[in-house]
């Protein structure tokens, strides 16, 4: 009878394979493929043709920027706004940075961002486009107006909702933003 030996050997092989697989998995998990680096939106903002929101299919950009699967309804808030295309999905992060003076200097970057409750949004001045501030339409937060590169202002969003804000000096030329807390 050779049954016993065969069984033993099979068990041994299974054990080894399992261990090998675990090792392989462990080895892989570090460097998961991150696709090519997205082109860093160097689109010079204010074309003066009043395009109305309906933008035909925006081609997929192979960058690392994630967008919300379903675009929130901003009720026309972003009509004529600079640097707005879609809402960047930054949910699940403790802290998110938004540039003040992005693009041609008169924009927020990203203009629209979605975060989770409890997230702190840090606005960071680029130094471009003159003096800016960050002022919530609701009055929930308002920064000073400054120009200095590297200046920051932060606000922690606790309650779900849509928070629209502007740069007061440049709101009339489309410097608007929104934070969606979901």
The 3-state DSSP class for residue 31 equals helix
Stretch of 6-14, 47-55, 85-93, 129-137 contacting Cu ion, by CB under 5 A: 129-137
Segment 65-124, which members bind Cu ion (CB under 5 A)? none
175 is in an annotated binding site: yes
Q: Choose among 180, 151, 176: nearest CA to 165.
A: 176
The binder of Cu ion chosen from 175, 179, 180, 181 (CB under 5 A)? 175
Rule CB under 5 A: is residue 132 a binding residue for Cu ion?
yes
DSSP for 61-106 reads --SS--B-SS----TTTTTT-TT-SS-EE-TT-SEEEEEES-TTSS
Nearest distance in Å: CB 44, Cu ion: 16
C-beta of residue 74 within 8 angstroms of C-beta of residue 162? yes
> Quick one: which segment of 5-13, 19-27, 84-92, 132-140 binds Cu ion (CB under 5 A)?
132-140
Interface with Cu ion by CB under 5 A: which residues? 132, 167, 170, 175
């Amino acid at each position: 009878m050779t049954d016993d030996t065969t069984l033993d050997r099979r068990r041994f092989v299974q054990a080894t394979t399992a261990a090998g697989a675990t090792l392989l998995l462990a080895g892989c998990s570090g460097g998961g493929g991150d696709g090519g680096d997205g082109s860093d939106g160097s689109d010079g903002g204010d074309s003066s043709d009043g395009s109305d929101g309906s933008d035909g299919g925006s081609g997929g950009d192979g960058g690392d920027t994630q967008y919300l699967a379903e675009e929130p309804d901003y009720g026309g808030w972003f009509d004529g706004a600079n640097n707005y295309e879609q809402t960047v999905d930054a949910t699940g992060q403790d802290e998110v940075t938004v540039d003040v003076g992005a693009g041609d200097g008169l924009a927020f970057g990203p203009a629209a961002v979605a975060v989770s409750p409890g997230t702190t949004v840090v606005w960071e001045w680029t130094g471009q486009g003159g003096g800016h501030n960050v002022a919530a339409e609701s009055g929930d937060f308002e920064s000073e107006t400054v120009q200095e590169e590297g200046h920051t202002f932060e606000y922690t969003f606790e309650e779900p909702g849509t928070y629209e804000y502007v740069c007061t000096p440049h709101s009339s030329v489309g410097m608007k933003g929104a934070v969606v807390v979901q």
